[in-house]
């Protein structure tokens, strides 16, 4: 795995994991590009319209009995993916 260093709060680790993101009415199955202590970057083109500030539940599907965690969308890169940040 490759560690990416940028001007961010936490180091990002390149890691591909299959995840499920749920809003009140939709479910998105996607893959991560990288992760850090504070969030994830999710790859893909989606039919769902996501906006900064949207709140989702994320679950890693590659881990048995994984717990869901709340995230907030912080950036959407059209045609590439979106960044989310963990919150309590």
Say what the pLDDT of residue 28 is.
Answer: 87
Say what the pLDDT of residue 19 is.
Answer: 94
Which residues have C-beta within 8 Å of that of residue 30, sequence separation ≥ 6?
Answer: 18, 19, 21, 42, 43, 44, 46, 81
Question: Do 31 and 41 form a contact (C-beta atoms < 8 A)?
Answer: no
Say what the pLDDT of residue 44 is.
Answer: 79
Domain boundaries, the chain: 3-86
Say what the pLDDT of residue 8 is.
Answer: 59
Domain covering 3-86: architecture: Beta Barrel (2.40)
Say what the pLDDT of residue 78 is.
Answer: 86
Question: Do 36 and 5 form a contact (C-beta atoms < 8 A)?
Answer: no
Say what the pLDDT of residue 7 is.
Answer: 55
Say what the pLDDT of residue 17 is.
Answer: 92
Q: 28-87 pLDDT, tens per residue?
A: 899 999 988 889 999 977 767 889 999 999 999 988 888 899 999 999 998 889 999 998
């Amino acid at each position: 795995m490759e560690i990416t260093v940028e001007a961010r709060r936490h180091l990002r680790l390149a890691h591909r994991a299959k995840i499920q993101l749920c809003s009140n009415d939709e479910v998105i199955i996607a893959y991560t590009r990288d992760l850090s202590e504070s969030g994830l970057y999710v790859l893909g083109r989606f039919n769902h319209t996501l906006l900064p500030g949207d709140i989702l539940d994320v679950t890693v599907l590659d881990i048995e009995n994984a717990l869901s965690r709340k995230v907030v969308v912080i950036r959407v890169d059209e045609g590439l993916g979106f960044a989310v940040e963990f919150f309590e």
